[in-house]
Structure 1
């Protein structure tokens, strides 16, 4: 569970990570028609009939978590390519009744990310910036007071309404900005955890043997035997002649 806090507002997020074990898409078509109405009574002209159709994709897939449990996920109006065997993470905000509002889907296998709901949509669905009825009551009170103050209350009511509207819009803008930054940060954390570690390089046995032989000292060679000069009669005679 991950919590985003802004002032007195708190939004809880959950992360579902696992392997896609099934995916199914169904297209839903809605047909609407307008026109075909008589103009100026039954004897008048008939407006042209216009028929329009809208196709909505309902995507249902199953995610198997590391504990072996398969979770059913349903998306409406979103076409995301998923296939069996891919590793994904789904970030969802929790509604007030505990139902998930799917916010971001990270496909680790394909290295792709889809934003299903941004902060602006979550702000509307979770009612993080509700209408301030207190401002309306204050403005109404100032308008009533303006009846007895020759219009000064109306000026005060207008000024207070503009001030309250500006402050509210600034708070809403800051909340949406912070919530978008939090969703982006949470998505980056999920993406980094889903990346596979780099492989460890292991030295092969042949390389290890070669390096060991290169570092081992060379075996000591036995000293070479010096060959003694051969003595013969010719060399003895020459030595004696030199002495004479």
Structure 2
């Protein structure tokens, strides 16, 4: 149940469960100038949240949540569920705070799906189909006796119709894929123990 399957693409999920040893939040300070004042303006922007987790077997794991401020206290029991694109590329997707009974989805859905290779796929296929349509329409209209601007105009119209169809079809597929992925994440967060433990 831990893996997410979409077509030929399989995304693995594994977890780290244990006690929070430390929790550190980092910020970056940016200095800018206001045109109405000679005094510099300092702005602090949250950068990342780093956590050390001690697993039940005594192994300690270091986890960083980029651009996220997640409420965690030292001593709380948590589970971090990772999403794997492959063996070397993986990112935290869910944090379950068992002590506080909280669930945090670490990253927004679409950026995470892009990282995992589940994003806007099929672009080059769509472009290829549009080019084939333009070529075929141009050849067909030319063979039918049309020439010059008429052939170009009708070919462009045919290509535009195919473009609209592919865009609409692509949006439906992306929405369906996103909904299935979100549903899977929710299922994992409700059934943490079913997710394989990371070594």
Q: How far, CA to CA, are the matches of 1:139 and 1:57 in structure 2?
A: 42
* 1:9-28 deviation digits (Å, cap 9, x = unpaired): 22111111111112222222
Query: Which is greater in Rg?
Result: 1
Cα 1:118–1:144 shift into 2, 3 Å:
same
Which of 82, 92, 101 is the equivalent residue of 1:102?
92
Partner of residue 121, structure 2: 130
Offset of 1:73 from its aligned partner? 0.9
SS in 2 for 1:84: coil
Contact 2:27–2:44 at 8 Å: present in 1 too? no
Cα 1:153–1:57 shift into 2, 3 Å:
closer
Cα 1:135–1:56 shift into 2, 3 Å:
same
Is 1:18 matched up with 2:9?
no
SS in 2 for 1:98: coil
Q: How far, CA to CA, are the matches of 1:137 and 1:57 in structure 2?
A: 41
Which of 157, 166, 169 is the equivalent residue of 1:167?
169
Q: How far, CA to CA, are the matches of 1:154 and 1:50 in structure 2?
A: 54
Greater RCO, CA 8 A, separation 6+: 2
* 1:33-81 deviation digits (Å, cap 9, x = unpaired): 5879xxxxxxxxxxx9995734124321111111110001112221122
Is 1:71 matched up with 2:71?
no
Offset of 1:97 from its aligned partner? 5.9
Using the size of structure 1 for normalisation, the TM-score is 0.65
Between 1:177-186 and 1:121-130, the stretch displaced more is 121-130
Using the size of structure 2 for normalisation, the TM-score is 0.78
Q: How far, CA to CA, are the matches of 1:34 and 1:141 in structure 2?
A: 54
Structure 1's unaligned 5+ residue stretches are 37-47, 194-244
Is 1:82 matched up with 2:84?
no
Is 1:189 matched up with 2:182?
no
Q: CA RMSD in A?
A: 2.9
Partner of residue 39, structure 1: none
Q: How far, CA to CA, are the matches of 2:134 and 2:176 in structure 1?
A: 31
- The structure richer in strand per residue is 2
SS in 2 for 1:2: coil
